[in-house]
Amino acid sequence: MVVSIPSAVVLSGFFVLASSALSTKFTELHFIFGRFVFVSSLSTLLIGGLLLVIRKMLFSQILGLLIMENAIFLAANSVATGMPLIVELGVLFDIFISILISSVLLLRIKRKFEDIKVEALEVLKE
- For the chain, give every domain's residue range: 5-125
Residue 69 pLDDT greater than 90, yes or no:
no
Residue 89's CB is within 10 A of a number of other CB atoms, namely 10
| Spatial separation of the C-alpha atoms in residues 84 and 27, rounded to whole Å | 27
Residue 11: pLDDT band by 50, 70, 90 thresholds?
very high
Does 65 or 51 have the greater pLDDT score?
Answer: 51
The mean predicted confidence, pLDDT, of the chain is: 80
> What average pLDDT does range 96-116 have in this prediction?
80
Residue 10 pLDDT greater than 90, yes or no:
yes
pLDDT of residue 83: 65
For residue 82, report the phi and psi dihedrals to the nearest 5 degrees. Answer: -55, 160
Strand-pairing partners, residue 57, are: 117
pLDDT of residue 87: 65
Q: How is domain 5-125 classified at the CATH fold level?
A: Helix Hairpins (1.10.287)
Residue 75 pLDDT greater than 90, yes or no:
no
pLDDT of residue 86: 59
